[in-house]
Each structure stands twice: as structure tokens, then as C-alpha cells.
Amino acid sequence: MIKDGVHENSNSALVRRIHTILKLLSLWSLQHISRGHNKLANKIVKVIRDRKINLRL
């Protein structure tokens, strides 16, 4: 959960940046879309993850 600009388990710069951007918007919402309903995004994430794993080897 994002609360007051900081993720509960992390001080991630990305989470802080997202929170800063959201504060600039007057209206925003988040919607969960399952992997099954967003197959293209899921495939892209898998490709990126696999590349990172191969780079570590």
C-alpha cells in the first residue's frame, strides 16, 4: 500500500516518484487488470524479466 509517499516495505524512489505525480493530478484511480485480461502487458513483463535473469548469469 502506498501511504504518504512511501511504500510500507520500501523507500523506493519509483514509489516516491509515482506518489509525487499522483499528487499533481486532481483526479486519478487505479484498476487491477488480471494477467489473463492483459496478455500483451504480461508477455512484455516476462520478456523483460527473462532478459534481466539472463544478464545476471
Domain boundaries, the chain: 1-28
Residues in the chain: 57
pLDDT for the residue numbered 30: 82
d(Cα 34, Cα 42) in Å, to the nearest integer?
Answer: 9
Q: What are the φ and ψ backbone dihedral angles of 41, each rounded to 5 degrees?
A: -60, -40
Within the chain, strands assigned E span: 2-3, 6-7
Going by pLDDT thresholds of 50, 70 and 90, the confidence category of residue 7 is very low
Rounded to 5°, the CA angle 8-9-11 comes to 85
Task: Please give the pLDDT value at position 4.
Answer: 54
- pLDDT tens column, 10-47: 568 888 888 899 899 988 888 888 878 899 988 888 88
